[in-house]
Every structure is written in structure tokens, then in C-alpha cells.
Chain A
Amino acid sequence: MKNLIEYMGIEPERFQTSWISGSEANKFQQTMENLVADITKLGPNRKLRDMR
């Protein structure tokens, strides 16, 4: 999936998957913070959106 998205020209950082258990609050928080940081770095997404 990630490879395919990358192949179609979308930044792979925008799509991330993680395995987090319901009891791993810290891991969830950390993952979300990293994701937000990654995406902020990339800036707003212009691809795959509202191209009508």
C-alpha cells in the first residue's frame, strides 16, 4: 500500500501504519506526535484533493 502510494507520486510519509495496543497510551501519543511532525514538515497536501 505504502509502496503503491509512493509509486503514484504521493509522499509516503502521509500514510503511516502502526500496531498499537489499547494499553499502550505512550506509544500512541508518541506515534501521533511523530506523524503530526512529519506532516507539518511536508506542508499541506495538494495531491488527490478537490481536483474537479
Chain B
Amino acid sequence: MKAIENQIKEIAARLLQSGEVNIFLAWEKGDYEYQSKPYFARSVDDVDKIVFDQYCIHNLSNSLLKFRDSSDKIGLVVKGCDSRGIVRLLQDNQIERSRLYIVGVACPGMKDPLLAMKNHSGLFKVETEPEVAAKCQTCRYPNPVIYDELLGDQQAPRPQEARYAQVDAIEQMTADERYKFFEDTLSKCIRCYACRQACVACNCRLCIFDEMRPQWVGRETSLSDNMMYHLVRASHMAGRCIECGECERVCPVNIPLMLINRKLIKDVDKFFGPYDAGIKYEEGVKPPLSLYQENDPDNFI
């Protein structure tokens, strides 16, 4: 990891020096050993601060949305999941490929900083920390799918047997049981919208949940409004979700959001597939839900 970090620094310094990019997105160290946070280097002097370690879990492709109206040239470091996010942004015409310089890192899996923080706080019972974060344990694309430069050794995809296991389990329940289950889970939601902010697929300029006139969805944390929020959010993710699991990771009340997203992934895969969001970028090629075809299945609507 240290070797990769040094390589990243070299590349960042080279790019910023030559003016090939104005901004280089990577991570810097936070206050604690288990905190790494996104960092925007703007000059060669900033490069020293860049780190790459086990806690660089944040999806940097999401940060690109901040620059979609600028003309900055941007260099950034991506892991497998982040690179799929970039492909999705390119497919959605959110940013031009020519403005990006992508440094891909084959990702060995990251650790969960929140879990580490809990264990260090002394307030919680110390849990044994798994080798990699929950979202990395089922990673299917640890190697970047789009890059200008690739660092690190190729990683093998991690085991997949249980990919849809939870979704299948819920599908087996009766309608009332399912409703009860989601009632219980979603009643915890405090509507902080962290899942929306962390999501690379959430790229509307004006979000339906922010709009006041008309106010489509109530803003209070009542169960019915919570359920509407999660229904709408999830259906906006259909065909876009790249399974980076950031929404679930940032949720302060631990709502299993990927459970809802995976259902849509499964359906899109089944009806329009085989399809995985953002695994390949070809100019002009549209993902299935951005394209009308006469033989599109009706039952997805």
C-alpha cells in the first residue's frame, strides 16, 4: 500500500507540475489513524498530504459531481467500485472523458472506518474487526474498469454465492410480512439524506426531495414519508446502482439499503440483462434503461 501511495504521489506531482490537471482527487489522513478523507490537491505543494491506506473507502467518483459545471481538468484515484461510478457518470453525460485523468488502483478491499472508530471510542463493546468492510466482502469488480494508468496487482473478485440471498429470502415472505419488515427497518430512518449525498448515481441537479413547490414527498420523519422516500430513491437507482455500498456504509442508523437496491439490480439484470451497471464505457452506447427498445419488457414499470 505504501508503494502504491508513493506511486500516486509521483503521478499527482507530475500531472500538477505539467498542468495536465488542475485538481487531483485522492485521500488525506484525518485526525486518527483510522480516518482517511477525500482530499483535493490543487498544487504540487499539496501532494505531500496524499495518502493511500486501508481506510480510503470513500467513493471519489462522487466528488466529480462538484466539478461538472467547471472546466477544470481533474486527475483522480479510483478503486474498482469508484471506476464503475465514473463509467456511470460518463454514460449519464455528467462529465467529459477528456477532462479526466484516471489513476486506477486494484483494490484489495478497504476497512470500515466507522467500525474502527466505534472500537476505538471505548463506548461500544469491542467487536472483532473483519479483514475488509462489509461492502468489500462481496466485491465483484476490485479492479478498475476504466483508467489511464493502473497501479497495484490484479485482485481476484470476492465470493458471490450470497449475492441475492437476502433478496430471495424477502421475496419468499408474504406481502404482509414484507411490509412489516420494511416498516420496521425504515421507521429508523431519520431522513438525513446521507445515502443520497454519498451516492454517485444520485446526480439530479434539483432533487425531488429538496423541491418545495410542489412538495412531492413530505419532509417529516413519519413512516409513510420515509417509505415514500426510500421507494423513490431506490427506483431512481435502477440500472444506475454500481453496488459500491456507500449508502449503506454512511447510514447512521444502519438501514440495510443495499437490500432494496439489490432487488432492483436483480430485476434489471433479469429483464434487461445480463447487465451490470457501469462495467464498460463505450462512447455512444447507452445502458438499457436509457434506451427505448420495442421489445422492452413491460412488467418492470
Chain A residues with a Cβ under 8 A of chain B: 1-11, 17, 47-52
Tell me whether B33 is interfacial, beta carbon within 8 Å. Answer: no
- CB proximity of B271 to chain A, nearest CB, Å: 9
Q: Given A8-B182, A9-B179, A48-B227: A2 and B299 within 8 A (CB)? A: yes
- CB proximity of A44 to chain B, nearest CB, Å: 15
* Contact partner, A3, options B176, B222, B263, Cβ 8 Å: B263
Tell me whether B53 is interfacial, beta carbon within 8 Å. Answer: no
* Contact partner, B179, options A2, A3, A8, Cβ 8 Å: A8
Q: List 5 A-B contacts (CB under 8 A).
A: A7-B170, A7-B263, A9-B178, A9-B183, A10-B175
CB within 8 Å of A: which B216-260 residues:
220, 222-224, 227-228, 231, 234-235, 260
Tell me which residues across on chain A come within 8 A of B222, comparing CB atoms. Answer: 51-52
B182 touches A3 (CB 8 A): no
- CB proximity of A45 to chain B, nearest CB, Å: 11
Interface residues on B, range: 20 to 34
A1 touches B235 (CB 8 A): yes
B171 touches A7 (CB 8 A): yes
Which 10 pairs, one residue from A and one from B, show the smallest C-beta to C-beta distance?
A9-B179, A9-B178, A51-B223, A52-B222, A7-B263, A17-B301, A8-B182, A51-B224, A9-B175, A48-B224
* Contact partner, A9, options B181, B234, B267, Cβ 8 Å: B181
A4 touches B235 (CB 8 A): yes
Tell me which residues across on chain A come within 8 A of B170, comparing CB atoms. Answer: 7
Tell me whether B177 is interfacial, beta carbon within 8 Å. Answer: yes
A48 touches B299 (CB 8 A): no
Which residue from chain A places its CB closest to the CB of B179 in the assembled complex? A9
Separation of A5 and B234 alpha carbons in the complex (Å): 11
- CB proximity of B35 to chain A, nearest CB, Å: 36
- CB proximity of A19 to chain B, nearest CB, Å: 9
Tell me whether B198 is interfacial, beta carbon within 8 Å. Answer: no
Tell me which residues across on chain A come within 8 A of B175, comparing CB atoms. Answer: 6, 9-11
Identify which of A6, A7, A49 gathers the most chain B CB atoms within 10 Å of its CB. Answer: A7
Separation of A52 and B179 alpha carbons in the complex (Å): 16
Tell me which residues across on chain A come within 8 A of B231, comparing CB atoms. Answer: 4-5, 8
Tell me whether B286 is interfacial, beta carbon within 8 Å. Answer: no
Tell me which residues across on chain A come within 8 A of B299, comparing CB atoms. Answer: 2-3
Tell me whether B124 is interfacial, beta carbon within 8 Å. Answer: no
B234 touches A4 (CB 8 A): yes
Tell me whether B180 is interfacial, beta carbon within 8 Å. Answer: yes
Q: Given A1-B300, A2-B299, A51-B222: A7 and B178 within 8 A (CB)? A: yes
CB within 8 Å of A: which B261-301 residues:
263-264, 267, 299-301
- CB proximity of A20 to chain B, nearest CB, Å: 14
Which residue from chain A places its CB closest to the CB of B299 in the assembled complex? A2
B176 touches A9 (CB 8 A): yes
Contact with A along B176-195 (1 / 0, CB 8 A): 11111111000000000000
Tell me which residues across on chain A come within 8 A of B264, comparing CB atoms. Answer: 4
Separation of A10 and B178 alpha carbons in the complex (Å): 8
Instruction: Other than A3-B267, A9-B175, give 20 A-B pairs with Cβ distance below 8 A.
Output: A1-B300, A2-B299, A4-B260, A5-B231, A7-B178, A7-B260, A7-B263, A8-B179, A8-B231, A8-B260, A9-B176, A9-B179, A9-B181, A9-B182, A11-B175, A47-B179, A48-B227, A49-B224, A51-B223, A52-B223
